[in-house]
């Protein structure tokens, strides 16, 4: 059994350790097939993804050569496998990925599971998302983002990561673990200064920790940043948290506060 990891630099692991994929074209090829998550990719799309504007002569032959090379590489890693991992279909080439073999698919599945669970079991949700977020070793594909399809996939998986962080913080705050989350919330807000939900969660955690002035300073800085960068005002949700802090709204200190429900 192989495992494929893209939440960080591309990795393929076997029971004996990591396998090397050499060459930019081969990495582009397998990354494109991976992010398609079992769906066939038309040959012309693969050619564009691999070579961009620098198209080779005899594109079909060049692509088939790289497909054959990838098949041989994967076969060498699974010599007992009866069928090739990469197969050709009427609509294109497909990489077979089994359950549990692809970290990005497992990660997005965990986020969807947490979203479906809502606030029914915050301890389980916090644990599930903590484990899922630990899969990330760095930016998707590391320093090799690839072509357009791979870049779009990077953005998609990164958005799932942001959502996972929000949902985990929500669960932790409902469990009254605001003090334990302060450092991570500060980091999330600093790294994503236009993500208003992180700002709201940080403000609530600060307020619950007896730091009302700091919570309001975070809001003022966010308001100024939104104005300077985007020319907009804070969202109604963010303003609601500020008003609740100013009014010492009792709901802010309740684990199930309405203000802490996902936006």
Domains of the chain (ranges, CATH numbers): 3-95 (1.10.10.10), 103-260 (1.25.40.10)
Band the pLDDT of 257: cuts 50, 70, 90.
very low
Q: Give residue 254's pLDDT.
A: 67
Query: Shortest CA distance to 104 belongs to which of 227, 213, 8, 240?
Result: 8
- Burial zone of 66 (CB within 10 Å; 0-12 exposed, 13-18 middle, 19+ buried): buried
User: pLDDT per residue over 99-116, tens digit each?
Assistant: 999 999 999 999 999 999
Closest CA relative to residue 218, chosen from 228, 230, 205, 231: 205
Crossing angle (nearest 10°) for helices 43-51 and 148-174: 90
Q: What mean pLDDT comes out for the span 21-32?
A: 93
Give dist(CA 37, CA 103) in Å, integer. Answer: 11
Query: Confidence band (pLDDT; 50, 70, 90) for 125?
Result: very high
pLDDT in the model for residue 1: 80
- What is the model's pTM? 0.90
Q: What is the pLDDT of residue 255?
A: 54
Specify the range with the lowest mean pLDDT, choosing from 16-25, 69-78, 166-175.
Answer: 16-25
Model confidence band, residue 260 (pLDDT cutoffs 50, 70, 90): very low
Q: Which band of pLDDT confidence, cut at 50, 70 and 90, is reported for residue 263?
A: very low
Residue 258 banded pLDDT, cuts 50, 70, 90: very low
- In this prediction, residue 80 has a pLDDT band, given cuts at 50, 70 and 90, of confident
What digits encode the pLDDT tens for the residues 154-192?
999 999 999 999 999 999 999 999 999 999 999 999 999
């Amino acid at each position: 059994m192989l495992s494929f990891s893209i939440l960080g630099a591309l990795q393929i692991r076997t029971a004996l350790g990591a396998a090397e994929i050499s060459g930019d074209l081969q990495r582009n090829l397998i990354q494109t097939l991976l992010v398609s998550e079992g769906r066939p990719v038309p040959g012309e799309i693969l050619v564009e993804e691999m070579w961009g504007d620098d198209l080779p002569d005899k594109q079909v032959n060049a692509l088939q050569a790289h497909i054959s090379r990838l098949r041989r590489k994967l076969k060498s890693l699974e010599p007992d496998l009866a069928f090739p991992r990469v197969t050709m279909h009427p609509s294109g080439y497909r990489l077979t990925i089994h359950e549990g073999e692809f970290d990005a698919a497992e990660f997005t599945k965990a986020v969807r599971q947490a979203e479906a669970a809502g606030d029914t079991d915050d301890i389980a949700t916090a644990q599930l998302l903590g484990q899922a977020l630990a899969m990330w070793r760095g930016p998707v594909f590391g320093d090799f983002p690839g072509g357009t399809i791979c870049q779009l996939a990077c953005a998609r998986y990164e958005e799932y990561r942001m959502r996972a962080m929000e949902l985990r913080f929500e669960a932790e705050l409902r469990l009254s673990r605001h003090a334990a989350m302060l450092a991570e919330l500060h980091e999330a807000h600093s790294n994503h200064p236009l993500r208003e939900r992180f700002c709201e969660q940080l403000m609530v955690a600060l307020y619950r920790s007896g730091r009302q002035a700091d919570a309001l300073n975070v809001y003022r800085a966010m308001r100024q940043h939104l104005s300077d960068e985007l020319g907009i005002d804070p969202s109604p949700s963010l303003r609601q948290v500020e008003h609740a802090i100013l009014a010492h709204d009792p709901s802010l200190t309740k684990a199930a506060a309405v203000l802490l429900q996902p936006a």
